[in-house]
């Protein structure tokens, strides 16, 4: 099935006008941000001036009454971002989380009731899936079951193509079969890089650390397993993305779940269901691109470097504006520009991060065998401190899915733009993503964490000398002899970091302790570049869905909104808005995987035809294996 071409519309707004318009919008956002912070500071100052002194107040109630009498309620100190967070939390995040993380009663739940005295009483009711490690039950969210089932089903349905086609996928990526005359916007390698730039990110640095901190080293094993299964999910959705792609009025390729859910299901007599699923996916994808694929990335990367850059401590929006300008300069060029930048940036940042991590592993090579043994052993029979087998499994699945996005459908949008007349070939290229992202990068991060012991405060202190403990956690080498009190303070800091799930900080401690202190700067750069690359790729995902919803002429509106959220990400760094965006990323898996299940027969038939052609030697090679 070839690319269906629509008539081109009038030329769009030129680059200079777009860039000028975006610059004006960013300047406006900057002024609003500064004004908001100044207003917040004035309100806080006013609150302090209006508060009675501690000498004149007897208890908290009197302070509140006095504040009210001055016409300033406690709610007046709530910033606009906190108010928006509260609204999103009550009316959006909680209802969506209730559905996505419904656990069928397997885990404990809190019940709120009122006793005869009128007091509110919270009671914990045990779930039905009780283990020795989880006496009150272990929660297994529905979304985890859905994604795990989907990846397993597709792996079996496609005859374990994730293993059979691995070598062929490498050849395709190297350009051995690239025909320069094929239709599309980018090469196989650029499409892979664009999709990887959205998946290889903070999940590889922070997500893995959080998983091991919560579930112990054994969680690494299940992260790898889900990564291997996710390869087939990526293959299936990206093949469908190619099969049903078209060109929009501006001549750009338009493909992905929003296309194959609508058109593909219509072809098998499920037109109404296809329209509903397609519309739902597009809404979720646009929202996810603003939040989880943009504002969240900016906010998390800002938190990682904020302590090292003094100006960002007082003016965080400066980082947001700089990031918005950089992202805007790239996304104005569309997928070709994104593919070109990602094709250069992704290999560089992966090599820099992985090289530093591999250096640490080489220096600590003697510890690797015991680390691997610990990972495998605790995957099936973890220590009581880390919980039971099912707990480790659930944690591993959750973090792997957040990392590689297999089954979410986002990568199919990028791969639909690849130059090829063989849709299956691009699906085979796509299956490399979960392998690189999860099996390789996540595993390397996990080994560094396990070897260093940074996933557990007691283990870390036991494995490292006192000077290293303080230097790695505090970020600077101590002067003179290190006291036991300094070690205890540093240990408490790491323990708090682990409990608060600050994954990037945990990985930073591991890098500093096993390498050099300045290795932390490599991690800082990697975090910023990972966030930047994720933003530019998710901008394309959201923009393609936006165009499908509103038309190509409104593409510039989406890009402006996207850059506004980039700046806001440096201001609203936490809260329910970003939690809701993450939920929408997971929510994308429901319409996407349901459609992929229903169209899996078509994918299997096309795969069998392609594989027969490949095995018989009918596929033409444009570059020899030696010269590729």
Q: How far apart are CA 542 and CA 564, in angstroms?
A: 14
Q: Nearest Cα to 405, choosing from 292, 495, 309? A: 292
8 Å CB contact between 448 and 220: no
C-alpha distance from residue 139 to each of 4, 74, 567 (Å):
46, 37, 36
State residue 65's pLDDT score.
Answer: 39
Q: How far apart are CA 103 and CA 48, in angstroms?
A: 45
CB atoms within 10 A of CB 87: 13
Predicted TM-score (pTM) of the model is 0.74
Q: Which two tokens stand for residue 417?
A: 């733009």
State residue 35's pLDDT score.
Answer: 46
DSSP state, residue 4: B
Q: Which two tokens stand for residue 388?
A: 């039971």
Q: Which residue ranges in the chain fall short of pLDDT 50?
A: 1-13, 15, 17, 20, 25-26, 28-76, 184, 382-387, 625-628
State residue 253's pLDDT score.
Answer: 73
Alpha helix stretches (DSSP H) within 315-409:
317-331, 334-363, 368-380, 389-404
Q: How far apart are CA 355 and CA 196, in angstroms?
A: 18
Sign, CA dihedral 283-289-295-300, equals: positive
Q: How far apart are CA 72 and CA 328, in angstroms?
A: 41
Q: Which residues of 100-136 are buried (b: 16+ CB within 10 A; e: fewer)?
A: bbebeebbbeeeeeeeeeeeeeeeeeebebbeebbee
Can you give the residue ranges of every domain in the chain? 142-613
Q: Would you list the DSSP string of 8-61?
A: P-SPPPPHHHHHHHHHHHHHHHHHHHHHHHHHHHHHHHHHHHHSPPTTT-SSHH
C-alpha distance from residue 376 to each of 219, 225, 379, 534 (Å):
9, 12, 5, 31
For 158, phi then psi, to 5°, come to -95, 15
Q: How far apart are CA 312 and CA 306, in angstroms?
A: 6
8 Å CB contact between 228 and 468: no
Q: Which residues of 326-338 are buried (b: 16+ CB within 10 A; e: fewer)?
A: bbbebbeebbebb
Q: How far apart are CA 109 and CA 125, in angstroms?
A: 5
- 3-class secondary-structure state, position 129: coil
Q: Would you list the DSSP string of 191-206?
A: HHHHHHHHHSSHIIII
Tell me the pLDDT tens digit for each residue of 199-236.
566 667 777 887 788 778 888 888 888 888 889 998 99
What's the Rg (C-alpha) of the chain? 26
C-alpha distance from residue 493 to each of 11, 94, 460 (Å):
57, 31, 12
C-alpha distance from residue 281 to each of 9, 40, 251, 413 (Å):
26, 37, 23, 12
Q: How far apart are CA 547 and CA 285, in angstroms?
A: 12
State residue 78's pLDDT score.
Answer: 60
Q: How far apart are CA 298 and CA 539, in angstroms?
A: 13
- 3-class secondary-structure state, position 246: strand
Angle between helices 208-215 and 443-452 (to 10 degrees): 50
Q: Which residues of 21-38 are buried (b: 16+ CB within 10 A; e: fewer)?
A: ebeebbeebbeebeeebe
């Amino acid at each position: 099935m070839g690319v269906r071409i629509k008539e081109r519309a009038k030329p769009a707004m030129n680059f200079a006008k777009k860039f000028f318009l975006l610059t004006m919008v960013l300047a406006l956002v900057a002024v609003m941000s500064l004004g908001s912070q100044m207003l917040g500071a004035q309100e806080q100052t006013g609150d302090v001036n209006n508060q009675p002194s501690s000498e004149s107040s007897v208890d908290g109630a009197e302070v509140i009454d006095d504040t009210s009498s001055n016409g300033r309620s406690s709610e007046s100190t709530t910033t606009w971002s906190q108010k928006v967070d509260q609204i999103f939390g009550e009316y959006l995040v909680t209802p969506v989380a209730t559905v996505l993380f419904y656990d069928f009663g397997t885990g404990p739940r809190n019940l709120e009731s009122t006793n005869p005295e009128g007091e509110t009483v919270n009671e914990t009711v045990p779930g039905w899936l009780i283990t020795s490690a989880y006496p009150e039950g272990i929660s297994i969210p529905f979304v985890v079951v859905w994604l795990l089932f989907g990846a397993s089903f597709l792996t079996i349905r496609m005859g374990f193509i994730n293993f059979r086609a691995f070598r062929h996928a490498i050849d395709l990526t190297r350009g051995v079969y690239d025909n320069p005359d094929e239709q599309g916007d980018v090469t196989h390698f650029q499409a892979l890089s664009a999709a990887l730039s959205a998946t290889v990110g903070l999940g590889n640095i922070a997500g893995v650390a959080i998983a091991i901190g919560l579930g112990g080293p054994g969680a690494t094993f299940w992260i790898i397993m889900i990564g291997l299964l996710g390869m087939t999910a990526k293959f299936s959705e990206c093949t469908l993305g190619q099969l049903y792609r078209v060109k929009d009025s501006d001549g750009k390729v338009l493909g992905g779940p929003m296309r194959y859910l609508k058109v593909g299901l219509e072809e098998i007599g499920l037109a109404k269901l296809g329209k509903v699923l397609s519309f739902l996916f597009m809404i979720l994808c646009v929202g996810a691109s603003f939040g989880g694929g943009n504002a969240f990335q900016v906010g998390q990367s800002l938190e990682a470097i904020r302590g090292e850059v003094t100006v960002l401590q007082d003016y965080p929006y400066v980082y947001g504006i700089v990031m918005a300008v950089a992202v805007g300069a790239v996304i104005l060029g569309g997928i070709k520009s994104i593919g070109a930048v990602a094709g250069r940036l992704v290999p560089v940042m992966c090599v820099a991060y992985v090289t530093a991590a591999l250096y640490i592993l080489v220096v600590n090579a003697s510890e690797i065998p015991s680390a691997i043994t610990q990972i495998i052993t605790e995957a099936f029979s973890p220590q009581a401190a880390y919980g039971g087998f099912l707990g480790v499994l659930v944690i591993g699945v959750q973090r792997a899915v957040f990392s590689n996005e297999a089954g979410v459908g986002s990568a199919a949008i990028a791969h639909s733009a690849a130059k090829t007349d063989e849709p299956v070939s691009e699906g085979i290229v796509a299956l490399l993503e979960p392998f690189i992202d999860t099996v390789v990068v996540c595993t390397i991060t996990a080994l560094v964490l396990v070897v260093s012991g940074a996933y557990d405060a007691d283990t870390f202190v036991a494995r490292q000398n006192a000077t290293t403990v303080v230097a790695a956690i505090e970020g600077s080498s101590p002067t003179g002899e290190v006291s036991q009190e300094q070690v205890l303070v540093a240990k408490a800091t790491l323990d708090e970091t682990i409990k608060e799930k600050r994954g990037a900080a945990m990985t930073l401690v591991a890098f500093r302790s096993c390498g050099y202190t300045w290795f932390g700067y490599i991690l800082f750069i990697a975090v910023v570049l990972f966030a930047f690359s994720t933003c530019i790729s998710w901008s394309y995902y959201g923009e393609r869905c936006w165009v499908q919803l509103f038309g190509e002429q409104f593409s510039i509106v989406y890009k402006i909104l996207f850059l506004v959220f980039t700046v806001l990400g440096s201001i609203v760094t936490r809260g329910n808005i970003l939690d809701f965006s993450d939920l929408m990323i997971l929510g994308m898996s429901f319409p996407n995987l349901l459609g992929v299940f229903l169209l899996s027969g078509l994918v299997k038939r096309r795969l069998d035809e392609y594989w027969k052609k490949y095995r018989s030697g009918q596929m033409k090679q444009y570059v020899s294996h030696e010269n590729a």
